[in-house]
Amino acid sequence: MAAKPRQPDMASDADLAMAEQAALLDQRYGDLTPVEVIERAAERYFHGEIAAVSSFGADSAVLLHMISEVDRNLPVVFLDTGKHFEETLHYRDALAADFGLTDIRVVTPLEAALDRDDPDGTLHSRDTDACCAIRKVEPMARGVEPFRAWFTGRKRFQAATREALPVFEAVGPRARINPLARWTTSDLADYMRAHDLRENPLVAYGYLSIGCFPCTQVVKPGEDARSGRWAGQAKTECGIHLPELEHTLGGSAQ
């Protein structure tokens, strides 16, 4: 019997196609203003197939305001880890009302995973990577899985791991878009003032990068904004913006 022809690896083909598209878009539009980036992505290249992800943290108002100016109905995925500051949850609701955002999608960790690996809610004190995998990476993969692309609020100045952050990047067969990649702290502050945007109340207490309350501390003068996250550890990212998400997303899409 003749051997069956080898089937093409469709996932690999899709990954390569998106890598090429993201590189082309970054070359073509990476120097545009953030609003122009949002307009082209949301209205031309990924219309009806794009969302934003937001932590509703220290400077989330900037990106969300820009998105609301383009399309208030664009889905906004919010990851509720079960460990947020109460101020963050109130801020989420206040900004949604301020900007008229109509589609806030809350994703949460799987109860079965929490019952199995973090029944008493203290996993963060023993293994922060495992805690982030359960409470952030896996839920975020489910949150963005329905979309071909999503916006983030990441900036190059935030950490050494983000210094070369592109505006358009591929995550497997999907695109991740960082309209504010080139912006500085001054750019953000100027925009907040110009548009009279509501500030996360925790910023006034020195929280300049806001995550889960057990792993977030006040930032000391002279330190970068993310130094208050997982203080005292080598860890600088939870994983939702790293290859861990792509691997988890690939599994969730099977």
Q: Single out the residue of 62, 66, 23, 14 nearest to residue 42, CA to CA.
A: 66
**Active-site residue flag, 238:** yes
Q: Single out the residue of 120, 181, 118 nearest to residue 151, CA to CA.
A: 181
> Which of 132, 212, 215, 238 is an active site residue?
238
Q: Which residue reads 């073509």 in tokens?
A: 28
- Catalytic residues, by residue number, are 238
